[in-house]
Structure 1
Amino acid sequence: MTTLEQQRRASGARMESSRRASGAALESSRRASGAAIEAERRGADIAEDMQRIGAPERQPRRLTFVPPAGGVPATTGRGSYTPPASGTGGGIASPLTEKTATVDGKTVPDREYWPSGLKSSDGLFVLPAIKTLNLTDANGAAVKIQLANPEGAA
């Protein structure tokens, strides 16, 4: 039979080993939580979390196979040339000269103005706004330039 002293020593040894085991478990828990806190501060898991939340990765699509086509056989082209009719347009001949009109015995440029005019940004002034500008090109043909209303649609 074991003596009382031996029982106390055995009990003390069991308590010591139990305390050492619980101390080791607490130490490893503290180390793990410290590593987790450090990883959280560095944002290591944020990228993974964002990828999990976001749309799934797109799978790359492969291009469809197109069989190679053979060359086009050579042929002789054929066409008929018709010269442009004389006297028809071809653009405006430079230089353009503004036409003039006589109003009340004075020679003035041949222009039409928008009745509302162009208002200054502060609204204090109304400047004349050209509606139609009548010109003559170098060939003597009439050229009419129509400008938009600065106030919008008339």
Structure 2
Amino acid sequence: MALGDARRASGKAMETARRAIGTSNEAERRGIGAAMEASRRGTTVDDINAVVAPPRANKSLPEVQARGGVPAASGTGEFKPRPASNTGGGIASPLTEKTRSVDGKTVPDREYYASGLTSSDGLFILPAIKTMNMTDANGATVQFQYADPNGTVATEEPT
């Protein structure tokens, strides 16, 4: 067989194979279309049930046993009038931070934890306030006590 004849025979075989693939693809698409049409028309019970949403099962709440009622009673109480003085009513605003003199310099009246606050990467240790002393508008001393940032509890009283 000559080279030209071999090429022609190969081309004819490829054309026949392509036509067969095209014919089978067309038949498959027609079959899919027919199946879709049949499912839309609802020819079977399953097709019809697929369209209808199943009913929700209603769940009832559990029964709660009735508790005994509270008997009726008269309320009693004593009226205690507020003291006439203006003391004991809490902290008066504004708060002003106290200062103290250390080595001839005026600094805020604070105490710090010795361990400080370590940064999340461990590179820095920042000062952590232990107590801060303030004065309210009435001249009363107010002290803020902060927790140790390292999670330990201070057992000594701040001075």
TM-score normalised by length of structure 1: 0.49
Decide which structure has the larger Cα Rg and report it.
1
